[in-house]
Amino acid sequence: MHHTGQNSRRSNYQETALIEKIRALPPERVHEVEDFVDFLQLRDEDGRLLRASARLSEKAFFDAWDNPEDAAYDRL
């Protein structure tokens, strides 16, 4: 449990330092930072969606490929 407190303090420090850096930027740069954060969030979301769709399609592909007609290909 002690590590959680350290991580929390470190996270708070990093958050505070980042906010101070952003506050020091001119408004047009703040907009660029916001756009970049949005990009990172979308990229993470795209990755989660891709992994979820792959998991959902596994059974359908298994059913389509696991049949006697395709057994010859399995032995290649």
The confidence band for 3, taking pLDDT boundaries of 50, 70 and 90, is low
What is the value of pTM for the model shown?
Answer: 0.52
**68 CB burial (10 A radius; 0-12, 13-18, 19+):** exposed
Mean pLDDT of the chain: 84
Confidence check: pLDDT of 15 > 90: yes
Confidence check: pLDDT of 9 > 60: yes
**21 CB burial (10 A radius; 0-12, 13-18, 19+):** exposed
Confidence check: pLDDT of 30 > 80: yes
The confidence band for 24, taking pLDDT boundaries of 50, 70 and 90, is very high
What are the structural domain ranges in the chain? 2-74
DSSP assignment of 4-24 equals HHHHHHHHHHHHHHHHHHHHH
Please check whether residue 33 is in contact with residue 25, taking contact to mean a CB–CB distance below 8 angstroms: yes
